[in-house]
Amino acid sequence: MVESPQPDNKELVKSDKEAIVEEEKAAAEQKEEEKKDAEKVEEKPAAKKEEKVEKAKRFPVFKQDFEADTVYLYQFNRTPMVPSVSPFCLKVESWLKLHGIKYENVEHKMKLRSKRGMLPFVELNGEEISDSNNIIEVLSQKFGKEMPAQLTAEQKVVQHAMITMVENHFHWSMTHWRSRNIENMLKGYKLDLGAAIGSKVPASILQFFFKHTYCRKSLKKVKAQGFGANTDEEMDQYGKNDMHALSEMLGNKEFLFGDEPSLLDLVVFSHMAPVVFVAKEHPCPLRDYMEADCKNLVGLVNRMKDRCWADHWETATGEEMDLNPHIPKPPPPAPEEKKEEEKKEEKKEEKKEEKKEKKAAKEEKKAATKEEEKKEEEKEKADEKKEEEKKEEK
């Protein structure tokens, strides 16, 4: 008999062990692959979240679609007499114009304020800068600009003292005059409150609101500076004394320190322009005193106006009151384009009329069908009554 070969038990045992090892390895590999897949899945939403955060990034400013190195100025609205009744707003804008810095006035109907609750303030490259003196200092460093006048150390000391006098003493004399009577603001600068704040509320209500907000608040600020016990005549005299000191310093010079304007000239201009340009028909003791006894200050105001504003002053005041006279406007449409636009408008009107006529015709048809239906119903009712009457007779 031929014996069949018997399987080796050792080989069977080895093959079983190998199979177990292979299964364990395969299971481990599967776990590793699952972990990798899970990590990839987790990475993808994280990356998406990061992308979303980058897209949704907002700057701590009002103007989000700003241009790089463009100054966005927030200030009070224009008036027919001066570009701004606020000397601090006028100072900042005049400084920007004098140095040829690219800027844009933002229309906000006097509703926006800085984080400190002040006007003016500017936004530059997604950052807010407030306080007129701080604005000029920061922008001077940013754009490398200085006032034309080169001052000595002694002149800088005098400039600091005189700026302090104008901004912390004369300013309150003028503020007191503007706030003690609402007519001084409305008629003195020909101010239209409705147009200024973009409101359709009746003028009488706006004036009442303006009197009990702006005027009262301004007078409280004047009193807070230590002028609470002074009469109107005394406050006016304080302003006249300051103007006399500036007039004596100016003398026959073009500017306060010589032939070129300094920061002091800019400050004096921004505070005196709202005095010089008060409407002639409205009484103003400070304006009258300047025109009579400080004529050289009037000349300084006009020279600084021409130096900073040139022709922009006329377009920023008067009837236009253009908020950005320095920004080129798009050219008016050509006569052919006007005709085409008119034709388009006429076609639109014709289409509207056709639609109206169609609607009217449909309504008439509906009304006619309704009347016919009513008549048929009435006839049917009449016929039914006749039939009933005949039956009753029978």
How far does Cα 248 stand from its chain's mean position? 41
Backbone φ and ψ of 24, nearest 5° = -65, -40
Q: 36 and 172 share a domain?
A: no
Q: 143 and 206 share a domain?
A: yes
**Higher-confidence position of 347 and 280:** 280
Task: Determine the average pLDDT of the residues in 305-310.
Answer: 97
Above pLDDT 90, what percent of the chain? 61
- 92 belongs to a structural domain: yes
Amino acid at 378: E
- 373 belongs to a structural domain: no
pLDDT of 22 higher than 70: yes
Q: 161 and 219 share a domain?
A: yes
Q: 132 and 280 share a domain?
A: yes
Lowest mean pLDDT among 44-58, 145-159, 325-339, 359-373: 44-58
Radius of gyration of the chain (CA): 41
**What's the pLDDT at 333?**
60
pLDDT in tens, 378-390: 888 887 877 777 7
pLDDT of 19 higher than 70: no
- 90 belongs to a structural domain: yes
The total number of structural domains that make up the chain:
2
- Which band of pLDDT confidence, cut at 50, 70 and 90, is reported for residue 80? very high
Q: 172 and 283 share a domain?
A: yes
The closest of 230, 225, 232, 267 to 246, measured between CA atoms, is 267
CB 134 within 8 A of CB 79: no
Q: 32 and 176 share a domain?
A: no
- 323 belongs to a structural domain: no
pLDDT of 335 higher than 80: no
**What's the pLDDT at 286?**
97
CB 348 within 8 A of CB 356: no
Whole-model pTM over 0.75: no
**What's the pLDDT at 382?**
81
Laid out side by side, the sheet with 121-124 consists of: 103-105, 71-74, 121-124, 127-130
**What's the pLDDT at 353?**
79
Domain of 50?
A: 28-54
Longest CA pairwise span in the chain (Å): 149
